[in-house]
Amino acid sequence: MPGDGIGNQVLPEAIRVLDAVGFDATYVHGDIGWEFWKSEGNALPDRTIALLEKHKLGLFGAITSKPKKEADTELAPSLKGKGYTYYSPIVTMRQRFNLDICVRPCVGFSGNPLNFIRKKVGGGFEEPQVNVVVFRQNTEGLYCGVEWTNPPAPVRQALESHPKFKPFKDTKGEDLAISVRIITRRGAEGICRAAFEHAKKYGYKNVTICEKPNVLRETSGMMEEVAKQVAKDYAGIPLWSTNIDAQTMWLTKNPEDYGVIVASNLFGDVISDAFAGLVGGLGFAASGNVGDEVAVFEPTHGSAPKYAELYPPIVNPIAMILSAAMMLDYVGEHDKAERVRGAIAAVVSEGRVRTYDMMRIPGGAKSIAQGAATTTQMADAILKKMESVKVGTAAD
């Protein structure tokens, strides 16, 4: 499912890497993205849902999402006024297939010029090793989709029964937008247990529950309560608790102290992007959306339409390739996944091939003239390194 914009540039490179590492698979194309919203009123057509139901495994590139009014404007004239509503395809996939576990590794590769550094007390600089995995509850929280502008009368009446709604009681319906944050004990336990299992399997020294229970007493309160209960089953792995706002400060003070972080949907989205910024940005940010039967792997970057029309393409394909490596792990091809990550680590460490983001220069047609590698050149360098890399050489 390459999707929109640069998804059509990075996903083919990831498939080249999968082929080269010896992953024996048949690739079936799935229609998804903005063009299908405009022409069909559905960015995730039923035929693509049927493919996922059948094959259970997806590689996803990138998606374009726009606000409601803009989305309505771009809908085909023949479809306007017929009740079509735009929904994010990836959110729809997560909810349709209960892909409730989102895993986002944020691991620094040695030699990456984009890695986080800090001043040493006695002068000079140091580069802490960032090795964080964010476990984000994927189907609940503020992204569950239960929201209204001008809420219907029964909803309005229910809201007005709460004493804290009093300041909004006289607000006209058309001036009132409501989004509901829903946390269930089942969803909270599932994501917390997955986080602890990962920490146990890979030797992480701690798990941090990152919420806001001092203000969001019911929803974040339940997340923290459940995390403490689950932690009792994992002796030797301490549970830390941080507030989301404070965590965004501490991650730039002592990021090496953190291992596995678990959070609800929005907070997990925020903190995973924040940690990704310490290890190179979204060009290095991979993720997996995992359910009981279906799994979809994707980079966390967007469709970047301003770069999508450039030829040759210039965007960094590493996040997409790392997402493919996560897929290899998911299907039990661990040695192949390590070869891919080892090759990426070697290319980054060597520093001879760097995309524009790694060179800290503006993206655009001129970046190649300044020495930036194209998307294909970066993939070529990774493929070449895979010929000689040994399993176990990826960043720990």
State yes or no: pLDDT of 390 exceeds 70.
Answer: no
Mean pLDDT value of segment 363-388:
94
Q: Quick check: is 291 in a domain? A: no
Name the β-bridge partners of 254: none
Distance (Å, rounded) from C-alpha 198 to C-alpha 53? 27
pLDDT over 90 percentage in the chain: 93
Query: Which pLDDT score, from 0 to 100, does residue 364 have?
Result: 86
Are 141 and 266 within 8 A, CB to CB?
A: yes
Query: What single DSSP character describes residue 189?
Result: H
Q: Quick check: is 42 in a domain? A: yes
Same domain, 228 and 361: no
Same domain, 128 and 151: no
Same domain, 158 and 202: no
Q: Quick check: is 85 in a domain? A: yes
Percentage helix, strand, coil, to 5, in the chain?
45, 15, 40
State yes or no: pLDDT of 392 exceeds 60.
Answer: no
Distance (Å, rounded) from C-alpha 137 to C-alpha 265? 5
State yes or no: pLDDT of 71 exceeds 80.
Answer: yes
Same domain, 150 and 222: no
Strands 131-137 and 101-107: antiparallel
Query: Which pLDDT score, from 0 to 100, does residue 102 have?
Result: 98
Q: Quick check: is 111 in a domain? A: no
Rg (CA), the chain: 22
Same domain, 165 and 189: no
Same domain, 309 and 271: no
288: closest CA among 103, 44, 11, 131? 103
Q: What is the pLDDT of residues 46-68, one digit of tens each?
A: 999 999 999 999 999 999 988 88
Q: Quick check: is 284 in a domain? A: no
State yes or no: pLDDT of 396 exceeds 80.
Answer: no
Element (H, E) at 276: helix 265-276
Its domain, for residue 135, covers 116-143+181-278
Q: Which of 232, 251, 278 is the last residue of a domain?
A: 278
Same domain, 244 and 132: yes
Distance (Å, rounded) from C-alpha 107 to C-alpha 292? 26
Q: Quick check: is 365 in a domain? A: yes
Q: What is the pLDDT of residues 104-141, one digit of tens each?
A: 999 999 999 999 999 999 999 999 999 999 999 999 99
pLDDT band at 388 (very low <50, low <70, confident <90, very high): confident
Are 279 and 130 within 8 A, CB to CB?
A: yes
Of the candidate ranges 156-170, 242-256, 357-371, 379-393, the one whose mean pLDDT is the lowest:
379-393
Q: What is the pLDDT of residues 27-51, one digit of tens each?
A: 999 999 999 999 999 999 999 999 9
Same domain, 18 and 154: no
Element (H, E) at 208: strand 207-211
Element (H, E) at 346: helix 334-350
Are 107 and 132 within 8 A, CB to CB?
A: yes
Query: Which pLDDT score, from 0 to 100, does residue 67 have?
Result: 87
259: closest CA among 201, 220, 203, 188? 203
Q: What is the pLDDT of residues 253-305, one digit of tens each?
A: 999 999 999 999 999 999 999 999 999 999 999 999 999 999 999 999 999 99
148: left (phi over 0), alpha (psi -120 to 50) or beta: beta
3-class secondary structure, 179: strand
pLDDT over 70 percentage in the chain: 98
Question: What average pLDDT does the chain have?
Answer: 95
Peptide bond into 305 cis (omega under 30): no
Query: Which pLDDT score, from 0 to 100, does residue 391 have?
Result: 59
Same domain, 223 and 132: yes
Same domain, 270 and 122: yes
Q: What is the pLDDT of residues 170-226, one digit of tens each?
A: 999 999 999 999 999 999 999 999 999 999 999 999 999 999 999 999 999 999 999
Cβ neighbours for 31, distance < 8 A, ≥ 6 positions apart: 1, 45, 47, 48
CB atoms within 10 A of CB 289: 24
pLDDT band at 326 (very low <50, low <70, confident <90, very high): very high
Give how many domains the chain has, as a whole number: 3
CATH number at residue 26: 3.40.718.10
Mean pLDDT value of segment 307-322:
95
Same domain, 123 and 216: yes
Q: Quick check: is 269 in a domain? A: yes
Same domain, 174 and 192: no
Q: Quick check: is 286 in a domain? A: no
